[in-house]
Amino acid sequence: MKPSRLIALWVVPLVVASFGVRADDVSVAVAANFTAPMQKIATEFEKDTGHKVVPSFGATGKFYAQIKNGAPFEVLLTADEETPAKLIKENAAVAGSQFTYAIGKLVLWSAKPAIVDGAGAVLKNGGFDHLAIANPKLAPYGAAAVEVMKALGVHDALHAKIVTGESIAQTYQFISTGNALLGFVALSQVLKDGKIEGSSWVIPAKLYTPIRQDAVILEKGKGKPAVEALMKYLKAGKAKAIITSFGYELP
């Protein structure tokens, strides 16, 4: 056998092995409001890098508790900026890795047309039995909903009608299935191709604290190339275009 052919036989296995080392899975805990955008981003990220996102979706507060109890997440995408900062302070996340990937918008929404008006007067006029919000102790969108109701002076009057979901995803289910006629959800959950089905009021930003959604590398993801690649990808053009297409603002 000629030497040149020997070299050719060894090159292919070495290249395959190197790809196997580079491609990896990234375990990501994702705030429930960001489910649809993250699914799209994960698909594009895998196409472009070979790395695969393994996402879990839920309430930011629940993820914090799980991480503190040793959950094997490597990256956290929250619905606030306080939780990542707290995890860094507690040495459960990597200092210097936190950044805002999106600014969320709150919307009062009903799956039925002509229920929610463009100024939110329905909250004062009534005519409904249940108003759904995410648990304000676990979900920043729920806390924002409480802020809005207090700013409008209707919180006390509506208190008995409020039903809470453990996450913004469950809150959406309450409304979409008709178990609650209306409620507060993330704009990203109801915006389809630039339109909102049913009826809605996009809440003016002045009525609640900005929902700055931050990402952070957790201790279990420290120093891993695939994790670093995902964080870089979230800051790049393709991911940003997906994020804004779901109604989020960018920092």
Q: In 10 A of CB 73, how many CB atoms? A: 22
Q: How many Cα atoms sit within 13 Å of 168 on the Cβ side?
A: 33
Residue spans per domain, the chain: 3-103+211-245, 106-202
* This prediction's pTM: 0.86
Rounded to the nearest 10°, the torsion over CA 230, 231, 236, 240 is 90
8 A C-beta contact, residue 241 and residue 231? no
Give yes or no on whether 3-103+211-245 and 106-202 have one common fold: yes
pLDDT at 16 over 50: no
pLDDT digits (tens, 9 = 90+) for 22-68: 689 999 999 999 999 999 999 999 999 999 999 999 999 999 999 99
Domain 106-202 in CATH: superfamily? Periplasmic binding protein-like II (3.40.190.10)
Instruction: Tell me the per-residue pLDDT of 116-149, one tens digit each, with 9 for 90 and over.
Output: 999 999 999 989 999 999 999 999 999 999 999 9
Q: Are 29 and 56 in contact, with CB atoms under 8 Å apart?
A: yes
Look at strands 25-31 and 52-58 and give their pairing.
parallel
Q: Which CATH architecture has domain 3-103+211-245?
A: 3-Layer(aba) Sandwich (3.40)
pLDDT category, 9, cuts 50, 70, 90?
Answer: very low
Structure tokens at 194: 């630039």
In this prediction, residue 23 carries a pLDDT of 85
Average pLDDT of the chain, as a whole number? 92
CA-to-CA distance for 50 and 55, rounded, in angstroms? 16
Q: Which two tokens stand for residue 186?
A: 């993330």
Rounded CA gap, 235 and 19, in Å? 24
Q: How confident is the model at residue 193 (pLDDT cuts 50, 70, 90)?
A: confident
Residue 2 pLDDT greater than 70, yes or no: no
pLDDT digits (tens, 9 = 90+) for 77-126: 999 999 999 999 999 999 999 999 999 999 999 999 999 999 999 999 98
For every residue of the chain, DSSP letters joined together read --HHHHHHHHHHHHHHHHHHHH--EEEEEEEGGGHHHHHHHHHHHHHHHS-EEEEEEE-HHHHHHHHHTT---SEEE-SSSHHHHHHHHTTSB-TT--EEEEEE-EEEEESSTTSS-TT-THHHH---S-EEEE-TTT-HHHHHHHHHHHHHT-HHHHGGGEEEESSHHHHHHHHHTTSSSEEEEEHHHHEETTEESSEEEEPPGGGS--EEEEEEEBGGGTT-HHHHHHHHHHTSHHHHHHHHHTT-B--
Amino acid at 130: H
**Average pLDDT for 187-191:** 96
Residue 21 has pLDDT above 90, yes or no: no
